[in-house]
Amino acid sequence: MGRIFVKRARDRWANTDCDILLLMLSITTLPIGIFDSGVGGISVLRAVREQMPEESVIYFGDQGHVPYGSRSLEQIQNFSETITRFLLEQGAKIIVVACNAASAAALKYLRAKFPDVPFVGMEPAVKPATERTQTGKVGVLATPATFQGALYASVVERFANGVELFQSTCPGLVQQIEMGNLDGKETRRILEEALLPMLDRNIDTVVLGCTHYPFVIPLIQQIVGDTVRVIDPAPAVAKQVGRLLEARGMRNSSRSKRDVRFYTSGDADGLKCLLPLLSGEIGGEVEKVEWLDDHVIASEGLSR
């Protein structure tokens, strides 16, 4: 397993002085690869950094294609496969699909395509919600791709017996968050349209089924009040990443805080400006990549 990833890291620097250096590196020092349709996966990145600051991270935000929620299954699979290959070429030792829509549409596909690669995906937090609800009524906020996917249907079938779920796709919310509008009038309007009817039905728990949505938890909490629990899946996902790295002997034992590299298929300067708002102290270089078609990414400065 280690040889596969070290070779991929080495391939990036083929015929350079870095070749020998990378061959000497332990797999534990290779980065975690995280991707999302846009900035939403930064909510997962934050949790990973809080729990594992010693791990290097590569983040890919496919802002040129955001949102994924209304795209076809085949297109999401194509994007996800190409981004995964890109992250592996940068030496990623594990891939975190920090996007509910991509997890629903492509996680099973990716595991079949890359059987030697460990993946962690997003699963709507229906199980913990149904375990904690007192009223038996739970609200779920997610994109159409998540609600229509087999993964969501499976989770509901397994864990939602006896619990009533109220669903909303929150049209336009992802775009507002991508613009950094976390508490403006339009963002509030979208959330109120989704949540107020649910409150009328006596929900006491809200599940966030999109990695973008944790950025508006303060606004959601203002709308639903302190008696309604809001479940952010990011900390649980980060814990699973840590468990998987530990089980495979990939966890970095260093005590030094490592760096984060960002790639975007959108506006690199725009993402860099958003990072302080979305990630707190997490910063890093942001590099622009270009999609040549649904299967090819080109990035300046990298050997392709």
Catalytic machinery residues? 99, 210
Q: Running DSSP on this structure, what letter comes out for residue 28? A: G
Place of tokens 């990630």: 279
Structure token pair of residue 86: 């890109």
Length of the chain, in residues? 304
User: What span, in angstroms and rounded, lies between the C-alpha atoms of 269 and 267?
Assistant: 6
Q: How far, in whole angstroms, is CA 70 from its chain's centroid? A: 17
CA distances from 226 to 41, 119, 191, 205 (A): 26, 35, 16, 11
User: What span, in angstroms and rounded, lies between the C-alpha atoms of 102 and 80?
Assistant: 7
CB 90 within 8 A of CB 11: no
User: What span, in angstroms and rounded, lies between the C-alpha atoms of 2 and 7?
Assistant: 9
Place of tokens 């507002």: 176
